[in-house]
Amino acid sequence: MYPAQFDYYRPKSLKEAISLLKKKKDAKLLAGGHSLIPAMKLRVSSPATLIDIGRIKGLEGIKASKTSVKIGGLATHAAIESSPELRSACPILAEAAGHIGDIQVRNRGTIGGSLVHADPAADYPTVMLALEASFTLTGVKGKRKVAADAFFVDLFETALKPGEVLTDVNVPVMRAGQGGCYIKHRHPASSYAVVGVAAIVTLADGAVDAVQLAVGGATPNPVLIKTVHHALVGQKPTPAAIASACENVAEAIEDPLGDLYASGEYRTHLATVLSRRALTEAVKRAKKQK
Amino acid sequence: MSYIGKSVKRVEDPRFIQGQGRYVGNIHLPGMVYLAIKRSPYAHAVIKKFRTKKAEAHPGVVAVFTGADLVEAGLGAMPCGWNVPDQKTPIRQILATDKARHVGDGIAVVAAEDPYTAVDALELIEVDYEPLDAVIDARKTTDVGMPLIHDDVPENTSYEWSLGDKDACDEAFAAADHIVDLELTNQRLIPNAMEPRACVAQWSGPTEEMTVWTTSQNPQPIRLLLSAFTLFIPENRLRVISPDVGGGFGSKIFHYPEEVITPWVARKINRPAKWVATRSESSVTDSQGRDHVTVARMALKKDGEITGVHVTTWANMGAYLSTFAPLIPTAFYITLFAGLYKAKGIWGEVYGTLTNTVPVDAYRGAGRPEASYLIERLIDVAAHELGIDSVEIRRRNFIGKDEFPYQTPVALQYDSGDYHRLFDKATSMAGYEQMRAEQGQARNDGRLVGIGVSGCIEASGPAPSAVAGALGSAVGFWESGVVRVHPSGKVTVLTGSHSHGQGHETTFAQIVADQLGIDLGDIEVVHGDTGRVPFGMGTYGSRSAAVGGSALVMSTEKVKTKLMKIAAHQLEAADEDMVYDTEKGVVHVKGSPERAKPFAELAFAAYSAHNLPAGLEPGLDETSFYDPSNFTFPNSAHICQVEIDTETGEVELQRYIAVDDVGNVINPMLVEAQIQGGIAQGVGQALWEQGVYDESGQLVTASMMEYALPRADFFPPFEIGRTETPSPHNPLGVKGAGEMGTIASTVAVANAVMDALAPLGIRHLDMPLTPDKIWSAISSVGAASTAKVEYFGGD
Ligand SMILES: Cc1cc2nc3c(=O)[nH]c(=O)nc-3n(C[C@H](O)[C@H](O)[C@H](O)COP(=O)(O)OP(=O)(O)OC[C@H]3O[C@@H](n4cnc5c(N)ncnc54)[C@H](O)[C@@H]3O)c2cc1C
């Protein structure tokens, strides 16, 4: 497990990082290193230059306003899991962070790194889609905001342009009457999500006002399953209604990924079952959020 | 003073816990070069041409060698230490020259100033391959059109072997009331010891002496193989050291090519050399485990009496025969088909076939888990089909406690046991009847709850050397033990057995302390260095306490005899009137405890030699070699409960009860730790682990991203108990404890899962019992709503 040779820079500021990123050929940012370093050790990835942004101050904070929470790209999974702000304003994200890998991975890995890496089996992308989050990307020309559903392009591919850094993640604050739940079927070897489901339910007067349901792991990028929203909106969230709405989940999953551990067929099936379970739990939580 | 039977804390732990273990990887010598090995990316390919110039010219590279260089230097081929009749042993070169025969087969070595440069240089070696079709399926190696892996092994079949009473077997089936047919796979496992294999070598030119540090479970046999078969450095000039070793599970028994390459390079370039496997290399070079395809039948009477067992197994040996490979599916497998039971008509045959996969050899349990899995699955299916409770059917067949020594129809003679008592304890700890009652309720509620039972036997502590020789071994399986008492009364214990996690430094000290009546802290246990312990056979097959411990008992007896002679002389009493009081550590005159000499004073007297009996040599340093007269036969009753998620097929292991009879227990905490670790490892096979090759011979599960090793949070707390029937034929009365957990738990959990699925009419699924597999089985039963699906084999 010996990576190929590379140059190493540790900029002190974001500005310096961005300018290095522009100047150096074949450069990659290094954050927590928990996706990049294993790939380099296997020599699947051999960048000529690493720009370690891990110690830049001010990129790791978590700040809540009335309507949204701003999470720095360098916030670790552990920080997100245990953040009091997130636990009250956006508990589904803290919940998902707690499901990532093991303690060591959560202590080092960052949200920015996970989102940019865009592993189909990662946990955050699914939650981001359900939350309708947006990401702030900062480059030489300044900042731009990209919505989650436009950010994930394909397997390990995002809308991040060369020279850009993912500096913030913006998620909405959950309102009264909203409940969320993230459930995953964990791969016994890697701990990644074989299938992960994020469900956010909004209730009004005992009926469903909105459903945001995203399924990850079954396809190259997570998918938002709108048909479930259409099937449930205006209805009482009874077990039967939820179960019947979830019959639509399978259709939304085209060309499912399959491997030795879980076939495409099984992943599609899991998506349906876990959707029902996540929605049921989200409804329960929504009822408590009066 | 008595240490045996107490949970003495491990004396080795402080250094491990503080990160001060000394592993091969920790060795750094001045001027050392680092080796990296070029490995074949193909499972089967002709090696046509090498171009090493670029790699040689790369800055920091010291040398590049290919297999041809090793052949030219006169090195030997990798030996196989076990030969069954008519076995065809293919030539396994240290580095392949003509053909690569599995992914990971070594073909060249780079020596460089640092490991990074060595790996960089691998990419600069160009090799022209002509890829060939790969042979993967152990059962199809003889099919028409299958390529030949080795020209000298026709039909890719290395050996055929059978054992048992064929006539009695045929009769049993002819007269049977009920016959169970089962076709099953015991899948390939990848050992994954925590510490990857490593080797360091240093050549001393002026004295022509070689020192090799290697991660072995048995450095003394490695020294023999290096000097006699591969490296040809005389044994008396070769020192092999296996210092702290981080786990082996069998995979570090064998002689590996890197153990030859590293010292050869060190001598060739006259610099110390080091090779450490990467985790990826471990996956494709450490000998792997299991991998049987089996067609089996069991004959029974209506009342559940087993009368016959008939088995045909195809054992996948991989691309070459690893050091002990042919032993595992033969004399360590078919001999165990009697299980705990009295059946007479047992017969089994095995075909050892070659494939383009990593070689297969002993892996924790080695043959015995495969046997237990087979027999205990057959009985469970029989129980279901005959409508007999799974504990009850076993009880009806047990060998009685008064029938020992018991001669089985498959060569072994069991030493001792009380299987009813074993099961009494397990069922009472489990609350078995209550469990079954609750299962019945759960089933009524539509839940898939399963209870798994296994009753297993193991032949451990290999082995009487003459028996091993008759069965095909090239070596003997005694053990050496030295008790060296220093003039001050401190003791060094030297054993040829090796600890790579087991805790010999503690348990062996407990044995000697009790034998001599001295303080544990006065004893140091030394192992794993041929410079200090030249002769030994190492650790595997749960042999250390039974064989290595017994050798130490012999040496303590010699020490005691000598001390009593000295005491008798000094106390002016007759030799036969002396008593060695192991409680107090003194020798006294019979009936006169005040006429006594303490241990340390006598030890000093042995070395001062001022006043020794006439003719007695000075010194107190005793060596013994113990050759066991039989195997020991630990046995177990394991019971567990699972619940299957009816929608997702996920298995939850809810309870695990293990009662093991490992004979007398030296250190209960360490025995329990062995059982616990063994259970986890065995359940790993039942539920998660599988080494899978695709059609082209690529190992699909070559990383920890795909190969699922069990983790602590996959398990409920284990409920562990024991019964003790001492082994009558070794002085400690101990049996093996290292493998029983693994042997018993795989099939206990598999039986539980199948018991849970039984109401759906699902009879058998192959391991690992993954959610997808279980869900598919459940859904196809659902789909075939009228016709119940009876059998899901070999998918
Ligand atoms: C054993 C193990 C188990 C794991 N289990 C899970 C799991 O269960 N679920 C899960 O979701 N993940 C899992 N992971 C992955 C883990 O979450 C990683 O930490 C994460 O994917 C990458 O984050 P990082 O900070 O380590 O990024 P790095 O590895 O440092 O970088 C990853 C990629 O992102 C780029 N990058 C990093 N930060 C930024 C930024 N701010 N802006 C732009 N580009 C950036 C890098 O250049 C690189 O290409 C696991 C990892 C391991 C090793």
Q: Do B776 and A261 touch (CB under 8 A)?
A: no
B280 and B293: one domain?
Answer: no
Q: CATH code at A107? A: 3.30.465.10
Render pLDDT for B534-570 as a digit per residue (tens, 0 to 9). 999 999 999 999 999 999 999 999 999 999 999 999 9
State mean pLDDT over B226-249. Answer: 97
Render pLDDT for B620-664 as a digit per residue (tens, 0 to 9). 999 999 999 999 999 999 999 999 999 999 999 999 999 999 999
What does the block give as tokens for A175? 């309102």
Closest CA to B374 of B410, B403, B406, B402: B410
B172 lies in a domain? Answer: no
Counting from 1 in the atom list of ligand 1, the atom nearest the Cα of A116 is 34
A165 and A73: one domain?
Answer: yes
Render pLDDT for B179-211 as a digit per residue (tens, 0 to 9). 999 999 999 999 999 999 999 999 999 999 999
A12 and A80: one domain?
Answer: no
Place of tokens 């005389």: B234
> Using CB atoms, which residue from B647, B688, B775 is nearest to A188?
B688
CA B167 to CA B178: how far, in whole Å? 18
CA A171 to CA A86: how far, in whole Å? 10
Render pLDDT for B450-468 as a digit per residue (tens, 0 to 9). 999 999 999 999 989 999 9
Dihedral sign for Cα atoms in the order A44, A50, A51, A54: positive
A158 and A249: one domain?
Answer: no
B318 lies in a domain? Answer: yes
B547 and B682: one domain?
Answer: no
The verdict on the CB of residue A17 being under 6 Å from ligand 1 is: no
Chain A contact present for B698, CB below 8 A: no
A71 lies in a domain? Answer: yes
Among B563, B598, B626, give the residue marking a domain's end. Answer: B626
Among B233, B266, B285, give the residue marking a domain's end. Answer: B285
Q: Would you say B739 and B675 are in contact if contact means Cβ atoms under 8 Å apart? A: no
What does the block give as tokens for B347? 């017969």
Given pLDDT bands bounded at 50, 70 and 90, which one contains residue A174? very high
Q: CATH code at A235? A: 3.30.390.50
Distance A123 CA to ligand 1 centre (A): 11
A198 and A126: one domain?
Answer: no
Given pLDDT bands bounded at 50, 70 and 90, which one contains residue A141? very high
Given pLDDT bands bounded at 50, 70 and 90, which one contains residue A74? very high
| Average pLDDT value over all residues in chain B | 96
Q: Kindly tell me if the per-residue pLDDT of B786 is higher than 80.
A: no
Question: Does residue B2 sit in helix, strand or coil?
Answer: coil
CA B245 to CA B527: how far, in whole Å? 11
Q: CATH code at B546? A: 3.30.365.10
Looking at residue B790, its pLDDT comes to 38
B13 lies in a domain? Answer: no
B473 lies in a domain? Answer: no
Q: Would you say B340 and B155 are in contact if contact means Cβ atoms under 8 Å apart? A: no
A78 and A131: one domain?
Answer: yes
B587 and B683: one domain?
Answer: no
Looking at residue A1, its pLDDT comes to 82
Render pLDDT for B313-358 as a digit per residue (tens, 0 to 9). 999 999 999 999 999 999 999 999 999 999 999 999 999 999 999 9
> Using CB atoms, which residue from B278, B647, B706 is nearest to A260?
B706
CA B683 to CA B676: how far, in whole Å? 11
CA B139 to CA B352: how far, in whole Å? 10
Q: Would you say A151 and A114 are in contact if contact means Cβ atoms under 8 Å apart? A: no
Among A111, A140, A172, give the residue marking a domain's end. Answer: A172
Given pLDDT bands bounded at 50, 70 and 90, which one contains residue A232? very high
A2 lies in a domain? Answer: no
Closest residue in A to B114 (Cα–Cα): A2
Render pLDDT for B720-778 as a digit per residue (tens, 0 to 9). 999 999 999 999 999 999 999 999 999 999 999 999 999 999 999 999 999 999 999 99
State mean pLDDT over B218-240. Answer: 98
Q: Kindly tell me if the per-residue pLDDT of B21 is higher than 90.
A: yes
DSSP H helices, B547-635, are 550-570, 599-608
Q: Kindly tell me if the per-residue pLDDT of B71 is higher than 50.
A: yes
B228 and B92: one domain?
Answer: yes
What does the block give as tokens for B620? 């107190």
- Within A46-151, strands assigned E span 49-52, 62-64, 68-72, 134-139, 142-147
A56 lies in a domain? Answer: no
Looking at residue A289, its pLDDT comes to 80
> Using CB atoms, which residue from A43, A261, A270 is nearest to B648?
A270
| Average pLDDT value over all residues in chain A | 97
What does the block give as tokens for B441? 């309720």
Residue B352: alpha-carbon gap to chain centroid: 19
Given pLDDT bands bounded at 50, 70 and 90, which one contains residue B783? low
Render pLDDT for B141-164 as a digit per residue (tens, 0 to 9). 989 889 999 999 999 999 999 999
Looking at residue B437, its pLDDT comes to 98
B574 and B662: one domain?
Answer: no
B425 and B521: one domain?
Answer: no
- What is the share, in percent, of chain A residues with pLDDT greater than 70? 100
Question: Does residue B691 sit in helix, strand or coil?
Answer: coil
Which amino acid is present at B508?
Answer: F
- Note the residue count of chain A: 290
Closest residue in A to B704 (Cα–Cα): A189
A235 lies in a domain? Answer: yes
Q: Kindly tell me if the per-residue pLDDT of B288 is higher than 60.
A: yes
Place of tokens 């709405």: A245
Q: Do B648 and A187 touch (CB under 8 A)?
A: no
Looking at residue B792, its pLDDT comes to 36
Pocket test for ligand 1, best of A14, A28, A34 (most atoms within 8 A of CB): A34
Q: Would you say A37 and A28 are in contact if contact means Cβ atoms under 8 Å apart? A: no
Q: CATH code at A28? A: 3.30.43.10
Domain that holds residue A247: 179-288
The verdict on the CB of residue A72 being under 6 Å from ligand 1 is: no
B294 and B280: one domain?
Answer: no
B484 and B593: one domain?
Answer: yes
Looking at residue B89, its pLDDT comes to 98
* CB atoms inside a 10 Å sphere around CB A148: 26
Q: Do B771 and A260 touch (CB under 8 A)?
A: no
B622 and B634: one domain?
Answer: no
Cα within 13 Å of Cα(B793), Cβ side: 12
B198-204 β-sheet, strand order? B61-66, B106-112, B33-39, B273-276, B198-204, B209-214, B238-241
Q: CATH code at B215? A: 3.90.1170.50
CA A37 to CA A113: how far, in whole Å? 12
A91 and A163: one domain?
Answer: yes
> Using CB atoms, which residue from A2, A190, A273 is nearest to B705?
A190
B380 lies in a domain? Answer: yes
B562 lies in a domain? Answer: yes
CA distance B644 to chain A (A): 14
CA A44 to CA A63: how far, in whole Å? 36
Q: Kindly tell me if the per-residue pLDDT of B782 is higher than 80.
A: no
Counting from 1 in the atom list of ligand 1, the atom nearest the Cα of A37 is 29
Looking at residue B1, its pLDDT comes to 58
Residue from B58, B644, B648 whose CB has the most chain A CBs within 10 Å, to mutate: B648
Counting from 1 in the atom list of ligand 1, the atom nearest the Cα of A167 is 41
Q: Reduced to 3 DSSP states, what percent helix, strand and coil does chain A have, rounded to the nearest 5? A: 35, 25, 35
B271 and B331: one domain?
Answer: no
B513 and B385: one domain?
Answer: no
State mean pLDDT over A20-41. Answer: 96
A37 and A108: one domain?
Answer: no
Distance A4 CA to ligand 1 centre (A): 20
> Using CB atoms, which residue from A2, A259, A263 is nearest to B115?
A2
B699 lies in a domain? Answer: yes
Q: Do B770 and A261 touch (CB under 8 A)?
A: yes
Looking at residue B789, its pLDDT comes to 35
A75 and A147: one domain?
Answer: yes
Looking at residue B463, its pLDDT comes to 87
The verdict on the CB of residue A62 being under 6 Å from ligand 1 is: no
Counting from 1 in the atom list of ligand 1, the atom nearest the Cα of A187 is 8
B673 and B743: one domain?
Answer: yes
B789 lies in a domain? Answer: no
Domain that holds residue B37: 26-132+194-247+252-285
Among B626, B660, B676, give the residue marking a domain's end. Answer: B626
Render pLDDT for B75-120 as a digit per residue (tens, 0 to 9). 999 999 999 999 999 999 999 999 999 999 999 999 999 999 999 9
A90 and A191: one domain?
Answer: no
Least confident interval from B70-84, B325-339, B500-514, B777-791: B777-791
A84 and A166: one domain?
Answer: yes
Please give the tally of structural domains in chain A: 3
Q: Would you say B81 and B474 are in contact if contact means Cβ atoms under 8 Å apart? A: yes
State mean pLDDT over B370-388. Answer: 98
Distance B24 CA to ligand 1 centre (A): 32
Question: Does residue A270 sit in helix, strand or coil?
Answer: helix
Q: A-B interface: how many C-beta pairs under 8 angstroms?
A: 59
A188 and A241: one domain?
Answer: yes
Please give the tally of structural domains in chain B: 3
Residues of chain A with a CB closer than 8 angstroms to some CB in chain B? 1-5, 42-43, 185, 187-190, 192, 259-263, 266, 269-270, 273
For residue B329, is the peptide bond before it cis, meaning its omega torsion is within 30 degrees of 0?
Answer: no
Residue A51: alpha-carbon gap to chain centroid: 23
The verdict on the CB of residue A135 being under 6 Å from ligand 1 is: no
A57 lies in a domain? Answer: no
Pocket test for ligand 1, best of A76, A116, A194 (most atoms within 8 A of CB): A116
Among A125, A145, A172, give the residue marking a domain's end. Answer: A172
A143 and A89: one domain?
Answer: yes
Render pLDDT for A31-46 as a digit per residue (tens, 0 to 9). 999 999 999 999 999 9
